């Protein structure tokens, strides 16, 4: 079994480095083109199912990809991005200006500090692992599944797969529209590729969560 993860296409807030969390921010035109190119690259993947976060930026990405792989997305709310609470709409600079005490706590323990009114990264990981277990149980050895989700959600899962402490999640990076892949063999799941952007060329622009 292999799972191919796609980070959703770019949004206006990715460009301005604003934390999106679970805000219903749509794709911009660059994001739609990233999704189209991801779909073109996945057209011959042989995927049997397409799962997606139900947040608009991921769902629109999945619908575009679905046109190329001839699959309809299946909504899975547990694949949503982390709930950032009061961080929503703010940039990193604004966060440190408005909530200095909270951000000091976050810097000390980024994995377990609960965003103000939201979730911690540890809570996100537990939620994404529920979705992962459901997908794994629904499919057989040898099948390929596409999963459209978010930078935080995918990185949380990958930390679990490779045994990386969640405190280091910020050292992993996924570009908008990138492909990553895990495969299950005799010794369990392993990370095969991460942040593959060969299909994006001039469309890679570093953005926020």
Catalytic residues: 8, 81
**Integer Cα distance of 110 and 122 in angstroms:** 9
Q: Enumerate the β-bridge partners of residue 188.
A: 185
* Six-digit token string for 38: 């991801």
Strand-pair category, 49-52 with 144-149: parallel
Cα–Cα distance measured from residue 159 to residue 167, given in angstroms and rounded to the nearest whole number: 9
Residue 167 gets the label, from left (phi > 0), alpha (psi -120 to 50) or beta, of alpha
**107/100 Cα distance (integer angstroms):** 10
Strand 74-75 relative to strand 144-149, pairing: unpaired
């Amino acid at each position: 079994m292999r799972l191919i993860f796609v980070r959703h296409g770019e949004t206006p807030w990715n460009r301005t480095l604003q934390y999106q969390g679970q805000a219903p921010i749509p794709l911009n035109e660059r994001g739609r083109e990233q999704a189209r190119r991801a779909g073109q690259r996945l057209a011959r993947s042989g995927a049997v199912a397409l799962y997606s976060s139900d947040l608009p930026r991921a769902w629109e990405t999945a619908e575009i990809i679905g046109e190329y792989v001839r699959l309809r997305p299946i909504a899975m709310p547990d694949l949503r991005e982390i709930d950032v609470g009061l961080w929503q709409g703010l940039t990193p600079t604004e966060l440190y200006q408005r909530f200095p005490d909270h951000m000091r706590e976050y810097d000390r323990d980024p994995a377990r500090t609960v965003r103000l009114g939201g979730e911690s990264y540890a809570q996100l990981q537990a939620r994404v692992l529920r979705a992962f277990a459901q997908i794994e149980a629904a499919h057989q050895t040898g099948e390929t599944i596409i999963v459209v989700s978010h930078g935080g959600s995918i990185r949380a899962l990958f930390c679990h797969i490779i045994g990386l402490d969640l405190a280091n999640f910020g050292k992993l990076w996924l570009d908008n529209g990138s492909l990553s892949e895990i495969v299950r063999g005799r010794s369990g799941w392993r990370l095969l590729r991460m942040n593959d952007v060969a299909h994006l060329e001039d469309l890679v622009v570093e953005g926020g969560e």
